[in-house]
Structure 1
Amino acid sequence: MRAYSAAQVRRAEEPLLAAGAPLMQEAAGALARAVREEIRAGTPERGTSAAGSRPTAPVTRGRVAGARVCVLVGSGNNGGDGLFAAAFLAGRGVACDVVLVGTHPHAGGLAAARRAGVGIHLAGDDDGVSVAVRLALRSHVVVDAITGIGARGPLRGPAAGLVTALGDAVDAAPAPPVVVAVDVPSGIGVDDGAVPGPVLVADRTVTMGAAKPGLLLPPAAGAAGRVEVVELGLDALAAEPPDAVRLTGADVADLWPVPTADDHKYTRGVLGVVAGSGAYPGAAVLTTSGAVRCGVGMVRYLGSTPVTAAVQARHPEVVAGRGRVQAWVLGPGIDPADGARAEDVERTFEDALRAGVPMVLDAGALPLLPDGLPAHAVLTPHAGELARLLTDAGDDASRADVEGAPVAALRRAVEITGATVLLKGATTLVAGPGTPVYAQADATPWLATAGAGDVLAGVLGALLAGRSGDVVERPALAAELAAAAALVHGRAARAASAGGPIAALDVADAVPGTLRDLLTGEMMDG
């Protein structure tokens, strides 16, 4: 899924609008179909979705005729989409109410809604907001058509009051309505994924022409629910570089190295690992487990005798000692204050830079970074580690700063280091010099467990080793491969979890089956 900025989408729409293409009618028709699908699917029971705040499990199924829909309408074209959709639904027997939040609703859409017998209400004051909340709570579906891609900054005035009140009411309702957003959930940062004020969390977003970056980027992505792109023939976007990208299972199948009959263990990639210490021996086991379970040709491990013994007890195929490798993983489970292990990392840095091979730099390696890293070096910090990296470089950044504006922090880290950076989180972000931001939201919340990042480092290292020559030749490929590794890691966690708790080794053990399903097309996206 490729996401384009508001300016890019507008430019692509211009020739179609000039030619008289009925874009609003097509958008409204697609929106109405989505609402009808949600009505047929039934009223959801209260629970928790992947976004963390939205019910998901249907308990009743409904007929379209006789259902109730409440459409929140602002002043822009998104409001026009909502009004025309309301008119269409009313013609199919749906009881529709429109709540006008803006002062200048789309004239043609408003006329169509009135002709269809849609109830029109105003939300200009506290009484209007109270009426709107009552209408919404008695509805099967609420359509958020308040603002679109032209909005900037937080919602203000009646829109902010309505969204705040309705969000609280929906969260407290025993049988809340399904929320469908038009183009984007109102109030999000369309281009940067910011959440500067109140936002009505959607179960489904029907976005027009192309995905917008805010639907893929955190924190706003958590408010978008399922994202459906309505094709409007914006062919001009094919020549535009996307702002954000989310890989699918099919992309991983294209990117992952698959052995042929002519391959042997050296051609399939050899990965070197400097991870673990006396204090954190498990990190070495977890990192090598992630790599071995990906099917890399060989893993070489460098560490103390006791930690090496622990690694080989779990994976006797791991080879101890230095030798030629196609990629490195450095840093999991290493304290930079541990002089001997820090020296191992720094020496290996030098070897890797001299050999020109890709590397994954995690945890204890991050404070030891040399200046001027290549793009095929991939840093894998979490938000706290990224904040420290930025602060050490002269920027005043806290963990909260990174979590509040993760894309800006990610881009700044790429600029400072020259490397590719993978920022771990509920939505994992990856970017390198000159690349779009990759945003992967494939995991389960159960993946937030000790050692999961070590497994990811091993998975990514194995992939870089298997595609080492390609990455060195095309350094921008490192970001795409890092996103692919995050997808595999997240899908493996989902498979291992099956809705319940997991440990990091469970994730590693689920990687082979996950890869098999991705490579054979048996694991569907969703």
Structure 2
Amino acid sequence: MRTAYSVEMVRAAERELMARLPDGVLMQRAAAGLAAACADVLGRVYGRRVVLLVGSGDNGADALYAGARLARRGAGVTAVLLAPDRTHPEALAALRRAGGRTVPGADAEEPLRRADLVVDGIVGIGGTGGLRPDAAALVDVIGETRAAVVAVDLPSGVEADTGEVHGSAVRADLTVTFGAHKPGLLVDPAREYAGSVRLVDIGLAFPGEAELEALQHADVARLLPVPAAESDKYRRGVVGIAAGSSRYPGAAVLAVAGALRGGAGAVRYVGPAGDAVLARFPETLVSTGTPEQAGRVQAWVVGPGAGDDADAVAAVLGTDVPVLVDADGLRLADRDAVRARRAPTLLTPHAGEAAALLGVAREEVEGARLRAVRELAERYAATVLLKGSTTLVASPGDGPVRVNPTGTGWLATAGSGDVLSGLAGSLLAAGLDALDAGSVGAYLHGLAGRRAADGAPVGAHDVAEAVREAWRDVTD
């Protein structure tokens, strides 16, 4: 499992380690890893032009020490000093001894335009509130060059703990981060500024909980339900789907498609789209009554394409089994009814739906996704899966938020979320808790989207068909 830690925890771990090491050892470890990464990006170091953007903090010092290593290998290294009177003196001396030169920020444009590589050491992990005007001007120049950009620890201008970006920020091709991932490297909008991320182990230890977790194949494989020899369809779990309407019968079909591939033994459908569901999936157990009359289930999915069927939403929320609420169900669900539930509840909004639930603009949710998903989880006393460019899953309380590392932009297609709802709901019925069902569902859904699209447009039904291959990929 990949983990990310808050700035406070990273600094505490650094202090604890530095107390046991000679002065400067930790910074030299970071600089060695940074220099090696820069050399990999350059391919050939000798004769290449490297520009270091150096602020007053430790990131600037890391850049200077790494620049000294590159200069000793024959690179022409120029350090742009944004705060000359507060530059790390030992690191600056090391660069000059290695043959590097320095220029003030006002003279940065000419070396930047000639650079093969730019190393961003402007602001460290404690930076908040955006870049100052002089640094922002350099970011604009970088964007006009063909130089590769390597960020030190995280791109300057993004906030490490939240993933928020206020104004200009460096867009890196590679971010070299030390000791642990920072939340902003895994969550949009900051994630898109980080490029590829390389973690350099500098010996930090973290006794406390991570801020973020990202499942990987092995984690998902351990959580996936596997039928035993004595299993029957009811022991494997039955998921109920209350979805679709005369206007949106396809939502019901797609939710059932996802549910059939999610590990439960049977799928019950309740709603007005029964004929469409049976035509596509004759194995579905279709009921013409209400959710209360459908028979025993281990979990419910309610809301996809439901229109204004508030009665179905209320009936499902009144049950004592796990419930996933999506799409129209989010609009129709009574918050007090959700909070009063004792069985697990999983809400799966996209940014627009989350904004409506929070009473804010969609842009506010998209700009602060981590804050939004945590607030929704607390407000509704439920687990929340916030869909989007980085899908986040949060439960109430102070535990880690899960961030999904799979997916593709081609998943932004009509009906894709209905498939995810059915898939995650089936995992609920198979016995996973809400956090795991949402996380594993998002992981498989993202993998299936990649497989189905393969770099080309894809439909939601294609994603559902690809879930089986994604499942096999994880368990192989």
Q: How many positions carry a matched residue from both structures?
A: 461
Secondary structure of 1:69's aligned partner: strand
Task: Give yes or no for contact 2:54–2:81 (8 Å, CA) kept in 1.
Answer: yes
- Counterpart-to-counterpart distance in 1, 2:367 and 2:126: 22
The answer to whether structure 1 residue 115 and structure 2 residue 81 are counterparts is: no
Partner amino acid for 2:298? Answer: Q
Q: CA 1:375 to 1:99, structure 2 compared with 1: closer, same or farther past 3 Å? A: farther
Bigger CA drift: 93-102 or 507-516? 93-102
Shift of 1:130: 2.0
Specify every segment of 5 or more residues in structure 2 that has no aligned partner in the other structure, as ranges. 288-293
- Counterpart-to-counterpart distance in 2, 1:376 and 1:144: 45
- Counterpart-to-counterpart distance in 1, 2:150 and 2:126: 19
Secondary structure of 1:282's aligned partner: helix
- Counterpart-to-counterpart distance in 2, 1:325 and 1:442: 30
Shift of 1:244: 1.5
Secondary structure of 2:439's aligned partner: helix
Shift of 1:33: 1.0
The answer to whether structure 1 residue 368 and structure 2 residue 368 are counterparts is: no
Secondary structure of 1:332's aligned partner: coil
Q: Which residue of 1 aligns with 2:171?
A: 201
Q: CA 1:311 to 1:212, structure 2 compared with 1: closer, same or farther past 3 Å? A: same
Q: Which residue of 2 aligns with 1:131?
A: 110
TM-superposition CA deviations, 1:81-121 (whole Å, max 9, x none) = 11111111122222322222233221111111111111322
Q: Which residue of 2 aligns with 1:281?
A: 249
Q: In structure 2, which of residues 126, 129, 139 is the aligned counterpart of residue 163 of structure 1?
A: 139
Q: Which residue of 2 aligns with 1:266?
A: 234
Partner amino acid for 2:34? Answer: L
Give TM-score, length-normalised by structure 2: 0.93
Give TM-score, length-normalised by structure 1: 0.85
Specify every segment of 5 or more residues in structure 1 that has no aligned partner in the other structure, as ranges. 41-62, 171-175, 392-396, 472-477, 521-526
Q: Which residue of 1 aligns with 2:282?
A: 316
Q: Which residue of 1 aligns with 2:218?
A: 250
Matches within 5 A, 1:334-483: 334-336=306-308, 341-350=309-318, 352=319, 355=320, 357-370=321-334, 371=336, 372=339, 373-374=341-342, 376-391=344-359, 397-434=360-397, 435-468=399-432, 471=433, 478-483=434-439
The answer to whether structure 1 residue 294 and structure 2 residue 262 are counterparts is: yes
Partner amino acid for 2:367? Answer: G
The answer to whether structure 1 residue 326 and structure 2 residue 302 are counterparts is: no
- Counterpart-to-counterpart distance in 1, 2:12 and 2:248: 53
Task: Give yes or no for contact 2:313–2:333 (8 Å, CA) kept in 1.
Answer: no
- Counterpart-to-counterpart distance in 1, 2:122 and 2:315: 57
Bigger CA drift: 21-30 or 366-375? 366-375
Partner amino acid for 1:400? Answer: E
Q: CA 1:375 to 1:89, structure 2 compared with 1: closer, same or farther past 3 Å? A: farther
TM-superposition CA deviations, 1:40-67 (whole Å, max 9, x none) = 3xxxxxxxxxxxxxxxxxxxxxx33333
Partner amino acid for 2:295? Answer: G
Secondary structure of 2:283's aligned partner: coil
Q: Which residue of 2 aligns with 1:54?
A: none
Shift of 1:367: 2.2
Q: CA 1:212 to 1:374, structure 2 compared with 1: closer, same or farther past 3 Å? A: farther
- Counterpart-to-counterpart distance in 1, 2:3 and 2:252: 36
- Counterpart-to-counterpart distance in 1, 2:51 and 2:437: 43
Task: Give yes or no for contact 1:294–1:459 (8 Å, CA) kept in 2.
Answer: yes
Task: Give yes or no for contact 1:375–1:420 (8 Å, CA) kept in 2.
Answer: no
Q: Which residue of 2 aligns with 1:100?
A: 81
